[in-house]
Amino acid sequence: MASEAEVLEKVGSYCTEKQYTLDDNFRSQFSNKFAAANPDADINDENILKSIKFNLDTAFSATSKGIEAQKKGWDEEKAKLTSEIEKLKKAPTKKEEKKGEEQFELPEDIKQRLSKLEAYEERISKQEKRAEVLELAKKGVREDLQGNLEDLLDMTSLDYTKESKDLAKQLNENFAKLYKNNIGDIKPSSPERKTRRVEDILNSVPVYTIK
């Protein structure tokens, strides 16, 4: 059975491997729809994994074209603004400082265009940083709780000027404080712990003597 959490884990791993910048909202929606459409599928089946990867490749290709076109437009705007600013700096200015030195001030329309450009670049940078923080934080949380981890990230205000690993650590610590008392250990099971769990189950099976 392919659960949403299992699909999301595969999606996250593949996006990390291919360095796809598909946002968390898309990943969550894709995982939900894929799991709903394939409830009886084996998530580790080669054909199922190929289907997931193919859909992600297609989505990223389409998204990339849109992003590239948008980025190209913003890059052209940035180059145009830079050229205009340089021309303005060289042009004679009417405003002077009290000491007699020339004072350069950007026209209001260029200030507004620069502000929009900076906001766009900041949004893209923050989006990529957020995805990186979430992927790092997921490594310290059980698969069945990773959806809750993403929900917490949506509600948390982080300083994205900090290193991704430090932000992921902060997110994990907040998650542990919030959930540990309710659901116990939040960390993913290691192979050794899984082996011990199986052994405990086998040892607990009652032995009957057949006469």
For the ranges 124-128, 152-156, 193-197, the maximum mean pLDDT occurs at 152-156
How does pLDDT run across 130-141, given as a tens digit for each residue? 888 988 998 888
31 part of a folded domain: yes
Q: Is residue 96 very low, low, confident or very high in pLDDT (cuts 50, 70, 90)?
A: very low
Q: Is residue 199 very low, low, confident or very high in pLDDT (cuts 50, 70, 90)?
A: low
DSSP β-bridge partners for residue 96: 102
Euclidean distance between CA atoms 199 and 194, whole angstroms:
9
Co-location of 73 and 135 in the same domain: no
Please indicate, yes or no, whether the overall pTM of this predicted structure exceeds 0.75.
no
114 part of a folded domain: no
Structural domain ending residue among the three candidates 81, 109, 141: 81
**What pLDDT score does 208 carry?**
43
Residue 138 corresponds to which amino acid? K
Q: Is 100 left (phi over 0), alpha (psi -120 to 50) or beta?
A: left
Co-location of 55 and 133 in the same domain: no
155 phi and psi, to 5 degrees? -95, -5
Compute the C-alpha angle 183/8/136, nearest 5°.
Answer: 70
Euclidean distance between CA atoms 143 and 33, whole angstroms:
18
Contacts with 205 (C-beta within 8 Å, 6 or more apart), sequence order: none
Check residues 71 and 5 and name the one with the higher pLDDT.
5
Here the tokens at position 205 are 């099976």
Residues 52 and 29: beta-carbon distance below 8 Å = no
Q: Is residue 104 very low, low, confident or very high in pLDDT (cuts 50, 70, 90)?
A: low
Co-location of 11 and 77 in the same domain: yes
Q: Is the pLDDT of residue 101 over 50?
A: no
Contacts with 48 (C-beta within 8 Å, 6 or more apart), sequence order: 2, 38, 41, 42
148 part of a folded domain: yes
| Half-sphere exposure (Cβ direction) of 141: Cα atoms closer than 13 Å | 31
Helix spans in the chain (H): 4-18, 24-37, 46-90, 108-138, 146-155, 164-183, 191-204
**What pLDDT score does 211 carry?**
44
87 part of a folded domain: no
Q: Is the pLDDT of residue 165 over 90?
A: yes
Check residues 153 and 72 and name the one with the higher pLDDT.
153
Co-location of 11 and 69 in the same domain: yes
Structural domain ending residue among the three candidates 81, 104, 137: 81
**What pLDDT score does 2 carry?**
75
108 part of a folded domain: no
Here the tokens at position 89 are 């700096």
Structural domain ending residue among the three candidates 23, 56, 81: 81
How does pLDDT run across 9-33, given as a tens digit for each residue? 899 888 888 878 788 888 888 998 8
Q: Which residue range is the domain that position 210 belongs to?
A: 127-211
Q: Which long-range contacts (CB under 8 A, 24 or more apart) does 65-71 make?
A: 67/21
Counting residues of the chain whose pLDDT is more than 90, the rounded percentage is 6
Q: How many structural domains comprise the chain?
A: 2
Quick check: helix, strand or coil at residue 157? coil
Residues 61 and 86: beta-carbon distance below 8 Å = no
Contacts with 126 (C-beta within 8 Å, 6 or more apart), sequence order: 160
Co-location of 210 and 139 in the same domain: yes
